[in-house]
Amino acid sequence: MWVFYLISLPLTMGMVPLTLRYFAGPDIHRYVFFTVGYTWFFFLSFIILVPADIWVIVFGCYCVYISGYV
């Protein structure tokens, strides 16, 4: 599963700015560019989290131990 994240996170971080640069007009303000990029990145992050949720449900790996809480 970590291999999936190591591939998908840089791909998502690279795809968002490239897509924005391709579709944005020349007179787009910087704050609009960053706002749209921010929302696209988090939207795609939710799409990336779905396979992780399915993987946990299918394989039943609920054995995450974080800071002493189970």
Residue 65 lies in a domain: no
Spatial CA neighbour of 10 closest among 50, 45, 43: 45
The answer to whether residues 14 and 37 touch, using CB atoms and an 8 Å cutoff, is: no
Residue 37: is it exposed, middle or buried by C-beta count within 10 angstroms (0-12/13-18/19+)? middle
Residue 36 lies in a domain: yes
Q: Can you give the pLDDT at residue 35?
A: 92
Residue 37 lies in a domain: yes
Residue 69 lies in a domain: no
pTM (2 decimals)?
0.60
Residue 70 lies in a domain: no
Domain count, the chain: 1
Joined together, the tokens standing for residue 45 give: 């992050």
Phi, psi of 67 (to 5 degrees): 55, 35
Residue 67 lies in a domain: no
Q: Can you give the pLDDT at residue 67?
A: 54
Enclosing domain of residue 51: 2-59
CA distance readout (Å), 29 to 4, 25, 38: 34, 9, 14
Residue 34 lies in a domain: yes
- pLDDT tens across 8-17, in order? 888 888 888 8
Q: Can you give the pLDDT at residue 65?
A: 57
